[in-house]
């Protein structure tokens, strides 16, 4: 009863914006920041209930990633550090769209009963809050706190300005009983990075490499990197667009660089030949690029697919060392399964390349929650979206076995190649974020592997050549009219459209094309790929006309 009146009272202070229907999409709720107070308040309630239900620490992140600075958004991190369980998304939608506080209290009441959420006011709940650098973040964070505080026993812990992956990492660490401050995060990343550098085979340290220039998207990632740089060894970093210079995501950042394939602001022809990287607005995406000399600001893009390929090569190398039989006798190898996960946006050339390496490549729909879930089925699962979001997941079983390999001299002689390979994989598991894709940790792993291989950005870029591709978006009244199957490669509704797409695609050598409803905007997206730039553009245009 007391709970009911607190909830009624506090929610009446956060009326929903009239005439807006929000849905918890692939990246939580996202909209113009000015209409989000009520939504964020309600997600605070949701986070508290999730924490009560799971009896674990939950995360709440306020960010709109690569979107305009005037937008914002909110999403939940589950106890594992991953995305909110999909089973709770319908409740999130209902809660966000409840027309008034009476309906809201009723919804909560029903849901608590249905989900058997312990709700005597005796249990405690803890929610870690984070936000990116958007100016609207501060007051939205207050709204989240109010939502959390309206659930008896729930405590909000404000972690301040963070990258999205930092918050996910902290939630995961807390639930494993580990320390989880930003300092702990930086410590773990920098020590595992140093470990990988220590383990570089002699002879490869040809290039105490030239510096890396990072575009921080004028957001939280750039800001954090400036702090991190002070404790980071073995890496020469120059950070641009770290926040002071310009507007968040405005002609800067990983999304811009990957979609437009031009240099971000703050970069110039004089940077030609340098190794450059770009983070997105909340630092969960990473792409690399180099500026092409005398080419009108065009770049040579190294996207998520190529980062995935680099990671896969390194992991395969370590697994193959581990499987070499030192003594020629008994085979102690662990039958580790290795799989890579992509989406339909992966460049066809990357998929071919990975398959030629003998890797198992599987596809899921767009959205981290799908890729992550699939990758977790392997002992080592590597997933990446072409846009630069991805990570490597290593199973507990494998880590345990590697621990044995690296510490028991009876299994591998100390200082042996096998021991080093085991130590490398263990370091990777500490460096690369196990909760979610993380541009800062991804960047360090790329840098460590390039040094390990003794590779320049050019050598890396030459692993394979991307097929020309083109992306378009078509504004539609109702994007849900487009329904896809088979990891978004086949349209099943509207009827007949897939046949028409097939007919268009067949006209182009190496043609491939698909359409899908966006999960974040009211548009249908078109992706086309073909043997030439012109063909890719033509294919995309003609398929876009089919959608219109």
Q: How far is the CB of 335 from ligand 16G (least distance, A)?
A: 31
The catalytic residue among 11, 65, 194, 542 is: 65
Which contiguous run of DSSP H or E holds residue 64?
Answer: none
Q: Give whichever of 145 and 285 is closer to ligand 16G, judged by the CB atom.
A: 285
Does 271 contact Zn ion by CB under 5 A?
Answer: no
C-beta of residue 198 within 8 angstroms of C-beta of residue 426:
no
Q: Any residues with CB less than 8 A from the CB of 225 and at least 6 apart, and which?
A: 214, 216, 237, 239, 242, 279, 440
- Give the one residue of 219, 264, 367, 381 binding ligand 16G; rule: CB under 6 A: 367
Is residue 51 annotated as part of the catalytic site, yes or no? Answer: no
Give 290-351 as a DSSP string: EEPTTSTTBEEEE-HHHHHHHHHHHHHHHHHHHHS-SSSSS-------EEEEE-TTS-HHHH
Q: Does 430 bind ligand 16G (CB under 6 A)?
A: no
Query: Counting beta carbons within 10 angstroms of the beta carbon of residue 523, is it exposed (0 to 12), middle (13 to 18) or buried (19 or more)?
Result: middle
C-alpha to C-alpha distances, 385 to 179, 304, 341, 366, nearest whole angstrom: 30, 6, 8, 8
Residue 280 touches which member of Zn ion, ligand 16G, none, C-beta under 5-8 Å by kind? Zn ion
Q: Residue 255 interacts with Zn ion (CB under 5 A)?
A: no
Q: Which does 407 bind (CB under 5 to 8 A by kind): Zn ion, ligand 16G, none?
A: none
- Determine if 304 is a binding residue for ligand 16G (CB under 6 A): no
Alpha-carbon gap, residue 327 to 333, rounded angstroms: 12
Under the binding rule (CB under 6 A), the answer on residue 428 touching ligand 16G is no
d(CA 209, CA 288): 16
284 is a contact residue toward Zn ion (CB under 5 A): yes
**Given the rule CB under 5 A, which of 65-73, 78-86, 363-371, 443-451 is the region that contacts Zn ion?**
65-73
Shortest distance in whole angstroms from residue 238 CB to ligand 16G: 28
Residue 489 class from Cβ within 10 Å (0-12 exposed, 13-18 middle, 19+ buried)?
middle
Instruction: Please report whether residue 282 would count as binding Zn ion according to CB under 5 A.
Output: yes
Distance CA 159, CA 358 (A): 43
Contact pick of 132, 280, 438, 504 for Zn ion (by CB under 5 A): 280
Q: Which residue among 38, 39, 51, 65 contacts Zn ion (CB under 5 A)?
A: 65
Binding residues among 382-401 for ligand 16G as defined by CB under 6 A: 385, 387, 389
CA distance 421 to 62: 39
Residue 26 touching ligand 16G (CB under 6 A): yes
258 binds Zn ion (CB under 5 A): no
470 binds ligand 16G (CB under 6 A): no
Per rule CB under 6 A, is residue 519 in the interface with ligand 16G?
Answer: yes
Q: Assess 520 for contact with ligand 16G (CB under 6 A).
A: yes
H runs (alpha helix) in 123-281 = 137-149, 164-175, 182-198, 220-229, 254-260
408: exposed, middle or buried (Cβ count in 10 Å: 0-12, 13-18, 19+): exposed
Q: What does 26 bind: Zn ion, ligand 16G, none (CB cut-off 5 to 8 Å by kind)?
A: ligand 16G
Q: CB under 6 A: which stretch of 41-49, 232-240, 325-333, 515-523 binds ligand 16G?
A: 515-523
Enumerate binding residues for ligand 16G (CB under 6 A).
26-27, 65, 366-368, 385, 387, 389, 518-521, 525
Catalytic residues: 65
């Amino acid at each position: 009863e007391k709970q009911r009146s607190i909830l009624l009272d506090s929610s009446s202070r956060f009326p929903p914006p009239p005439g807006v229907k929000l849905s918890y999409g692939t990246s939580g709720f996202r909209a113009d920041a000015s209409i989000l107070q009520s939504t964020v308040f309600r997600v605070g309630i949701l986070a508290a209930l999730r924490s009560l239900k799971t009896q674990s620490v939950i995360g709440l992140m306020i960010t709109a990633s690569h979107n305009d600075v005037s937008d914002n958004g909110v999403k939940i991190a589950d106890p594992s550090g991953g995305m909110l369980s999909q089973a709770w998304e319908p409740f999130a939608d209902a809660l966000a769209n409840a027309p008034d506080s009476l309906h809201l209290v009723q919804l909560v009441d029903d849901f608590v009963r249905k989900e058997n959420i312990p709700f005597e006011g005796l249990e405690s709940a803890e929610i870690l809050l984070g936000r990116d650098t958007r100016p609207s973040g501060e007051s939205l964070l207050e709204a989240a706190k109010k939502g959390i505080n309206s659930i008896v026993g729930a405590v909000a812990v404000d972690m301040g300005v963070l990258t999205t992956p930092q918050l996910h990492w902290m939630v995961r660490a807390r639930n494993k009983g580990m320390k989880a401050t930003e300092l702990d995060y930086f410590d773990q990343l920098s020590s595992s990075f140093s470990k990988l550098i220590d383990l570089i085979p002699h002879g490869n340290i040809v290039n105490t490499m030239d510096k890396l220039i990072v575009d921080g998207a004028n957001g939280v990632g750039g800001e954090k990197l400036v702090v991190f740089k002070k404790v980071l060894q073995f890496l020469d970093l120059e950070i641009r667009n770290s926040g002071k210079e310009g507007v968040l995501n405005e002609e800067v950042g990983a999304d811009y660089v990957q979609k437009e394939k031009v240099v971000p602001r703050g970069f110039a022809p004089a940077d030609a030949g340098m190794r450059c990287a770009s983070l997105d607005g909340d630092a969960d995406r990473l792409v690399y690029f180099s500026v092409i000399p005398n080419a009108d600001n065009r770049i040579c893009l190294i996207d998520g697919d190529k980062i995935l390929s680099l990671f896969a090569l390194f992991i395969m190398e370590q697994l193959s060392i581990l499987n070499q039989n030192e003594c020629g006798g008994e085979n102690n190898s662990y039958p580790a399964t290795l799989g890579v996960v992509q989406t339909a946006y992966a460049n066809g050339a990357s998929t071919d390349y990975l398959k030629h390496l003998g890797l198992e490549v599987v596809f899921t729909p767009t959205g981290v929650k799908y890729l992550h879930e699939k990758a977790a089925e392997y002992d080592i699962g590597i997933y990446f979206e072409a846009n630069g979001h991805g990570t490597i997941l290593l199973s507990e079983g494998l880590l345990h076995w590697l621990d044995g390999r690296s510490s028991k001299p009876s299994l591998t002689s100390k200082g042996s190649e096998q021991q080093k390979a085991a130590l490398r994989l263990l370091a990777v598991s500490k460096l690369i974020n196990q909760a979610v894709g993380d541009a800062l940790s991804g960047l360090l792993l790329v840098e460590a592997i390039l040094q390990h291989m003794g590779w320049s950005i050019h050598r890396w870029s030459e692993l394979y050549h991307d097929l020309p591709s083109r992306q378009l978006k078509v504004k539609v009244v109702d994007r849900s009219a487009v329904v896809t199957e088979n990891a978004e490669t086949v349209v099943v509704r509207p009827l007949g459209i897939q046949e028409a797409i097939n007919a268009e695609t067949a006209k182009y050598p190496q043609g491939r094309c698909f359409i899908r409803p966006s999960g974040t905007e009211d548009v249908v997206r078109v992706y086309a790929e073909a043997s030439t730039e012109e063909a890719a553009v033509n294919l995309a245009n003609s398929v876009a006309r089919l959608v219109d």
